[in-house]
Amino acid sequence: MSNKISKICVYCGSNEGNGPDYMKAAEQLGKLLIERNIELVYGGAGVGIMGKLADTVLKGGGHVTGIIPEHLHKKVAHAGLTQIKIVDTMHTRKAMMIDYSDAMIAMPGGLGTFEEILEAVTWQQLRLHTKPCGLLNVNRYYECLLKFLDNAVAERFMKQEHRDILQVSSDPAELLDLLEENEPVEIPKLYGRDDV
């Protein structure tokens, strides 16, 4: 099965991170989205990794849709996006980002980024959507999270099949390929049950 990705949601930091590699990765991903004619869907900010990613796609002639709640719009919104959608709450923002996209990935970021990608994975686990999810593991940033998830599997709070929903690579091109090849999981969440 192949998932043709025409719109991808990227969760990422509103800060630049420690050192140049994170901003370079944002630029690399942005150029790849242009090459593959993939629209960027993201949180609408003009700062940090978010701003660098959007600027790169826009500079290359690509299409960028920002989705941002009202309380952040006046503070950090990117002024030059192809399209910006202003919503009432963070909850609305997250649901719209998933609905509007064919796949979701997370670059390095903080609490909001963690929460967004884990919610997207959870929703696939619960079969609320069938869209692939991934981590762009720049500088092994997500190694501790991946170990944490592996421990959840070892302790039988998560099935391996659900852990494997999250495709991982440090290379943007490889990650996009993994997402396009990914098949949705139809494994029950609970041990010993086939209905949940």
Where is average pLDDT lowest: 39-53, 132-146, 151-165, 174-188? 174-188
Residue 51 in any domain: the answer is yes
Residue 1 in any domain: the answer is no
Residue 185 in any domain: the answer is no
pLDDT surpassing 90 at residue 85:
yes
Residue 157 in any domain: the answer is yes
Give the residue-averaged pLDDT of 168-174. 98
Residue 192 in any domain: the answer is no
DSSP label at 118?
H
Distance of alpha carbon 70 from alpha carbon 24, whole angstroms: 29
Q: In the chain, how many domains are there?
A: 1
Single-letter amino acid, residue 69: P
Distance of alpha carbon 182 from alpha carbon 110, whole angstroms: 26
For 108, other C-beta atoms within 10 Å of its C-beta total 23
Residue 103 in any domain: the answer is yes
Domain span at 15: 7-180
pLDDT surpassing 70 at residue 25:
yes
| Non-local CB neighbours of 161 within 8 Å, separated by 6+ positions | 185, 187
pLDDT of residue 191: 60
pLDDT of residue 46: 97
108-153 pLDDT per residue, tens: 999 999 999 999 999 999 999 999 999 999 999 999 999 999 999 9
pLDDT of residue 119: 97
Distance of alpha carbon 61 from alpha carbon 164, whole angstroms: 34
Residue 33 in any domain: the answer is yes
pLDDT surpassing 70 at residue 6:
yes
pLDDT of residue 104: 98
Question: In CATH, what number is assigned to the domain containing residue 99?
Answer: 3.40.50.450
pTM above 0.85, yes or no: yes
Buried b (16+ CB within 10 A) or exposed e, 16-39: bbeeeebbebbbbbbbbbbeeebb
pLDDT surpassing 60 at residue 1:
no
pLDDT of residue 110: 97
